[in-house]
Amino acid sequence: MPSVESSAKEWKTTVARLTVLIVIVLQPLGPGAGWTEEPVQPRIDEQFAKQEKLYRRQRGDLPGSYITNRGLSNYAEVLPSGFCDALGNLGSSDRWLDIGAGEGQAILDYYAPQGDAAPAERCGGSGPKARAVAISIEDRRTDKWKQRAASLGDDRIRYRFGKRLRQYSSDELGKFRMITDVYGGFTYSENLSRFLERVLSLLEIDGALYTVLPSVHLEDGTDKLGTWYLTELVDAASRPVTVCSWLKQTTCTKVTCESKSDWDAPTQLIKIRKICSDVSVPTLKIVEYMAGAPPGRRFQMAP
């Protein structure tokens, strides 16, 4: 499984220097403590800028944990059970959005002729293929992508880059039956609630988001004592909150979580199905952010 140990160690070392900031921001002084409208701390702004530079690096200069060429077999390994069957059930008129797609290898594997695909890559079935859209901050298309796109036509697979998800209009992207995020925006975003709200706005009713989040408190409580978490949530009184308990407060959704305590880092596999249109995501505020691959993040829920 992809290792986040090195990022966790860097996060642990650096966050020790932020003790004063943590106390100021999170100290529970009474109802609603820690929830202010003050600007983001300058030190966090510096980390945002550092993270942005990481995104812009070329492949040979990227950290080893920042992977841009995950194939469909990798998706099958780290996404919730049922993902491959759901992908295989998509029809030719359905649409699939892959966020943080990197080189778009998962989509290329999905569209590979069955005779060319290794057994491990045959996630998605052999029937008609959905139209697929890859999104990446940087243009990481390979010659293989360009050749396959030319042979299939632009209406079957598309690659969008140069903007964050929130910067695309609804008309630009349209609606999707399935959205995947494998160590993409859900793992990296500095505004997790806004990111999720945008993702859910792009889903059709009864469509689903499949995603994964490493190094977090697990819903079933099986993570080991002494674990250092890269993504943490706390409530208004600074008490720990699991990501899944936060997600399950989102209206018009059905959330299922699978906990993996035996992976390199405790990891949550998450499926969110949209069941009606009146979606409301509970607001989170970023209180700590440490650039990395993936970054260290701490969010606080609104009172």
Domain limits at 117?
5-301
The pLDDT-based confidence of 117 (bands split at 50, 70, 90) is: low
Among 186, 166, 164, 153, which residue's Cα sits nearest to residue 267?
Answer: 186
Asked whether 139 and 162 are in contact (CB, 8 A), the reply is: yes
- The H or E element containing residue 54 is helix 42-55
Question: Is the confidence at residue 272, as pLDDT, over 90?
Answer: yes
Question: Is the confidence at residue 7, as pLDDT, over 60?
Answer: no
CA distance 249 to 234: 14
CATH number (domain holding residue 31): 3.40.50.150
How deeply is 28 buried, as exposed, middle or buried, from its count of CB atoms within 10 A (0-12, 13-18, 19+)?
Answer: middle
The pLDDT-based confidence of 159 (bands split at 50, 70, 90) is: very high
pLDDT of residue 1: 46
Q: How many structural domains does the chain have?
A: 1
Helix (H, G, I), strand (E, B) or coil at 180: strand
Pull the structure tokens for residue 148: 């396959």
Tens digit of pLDDT for each residue in 227-269?
889 999 999 999 999 999 999 999 999 999 999 999 999 999 9
pLDDT of residue 235: 95
pLDDT of residue 4: 52
The pLDDT-based confidence of 126 (bands split at 50, 70, 90) is: confident
pLDDT of residue 199: 98
Q: How far is CA 127 from CA 92, 130, 134, 146, in A?
A: 9, 10, 21, 23
Q: Compute the Cα dihedral for 127, 275, 231, 137 and give only its sign.
A: positive
pLDDT of residue 58: 65
Tens digit of pLDDT for each residue in 170-191?
999 999 999 999 999 999 999 9
User: Long-range contact list for 34-40, CB < 8 A, 24+ apart?
Assistant: 34/236, 34/238, 34/287, 34/300, 35/236, 35/285, 35/300, 35/302, 35/303, 40/286
The pLDDT-based confidence of 134 (bands split at 50, 70, 90) is: very high
Of 85-94, 116-125, 131-140, 146-155, the least confident? 116-125
Question: Is the confidence at residue 42, as pLDDT, over 70?
Answer: no
Which residue shows structure tokens 């797609």? 101
Which bin fits 63, alpha (ψ -120 to 50), beta or left (φ > 0)? beta
pLDDT of residue 228: 86
DSSP per-residue string spanning 277-291: S---PPPEEEEEEE-
pLDDT of residue 99: 97
Asked whether 87 and 125 are in contact (CB, 8 A), the reply is: yes
Q: What mean pLDDT is predicted for residues 158-179?
A: 94
Is the full-model pTM beyond 0.75?
Answer: yes
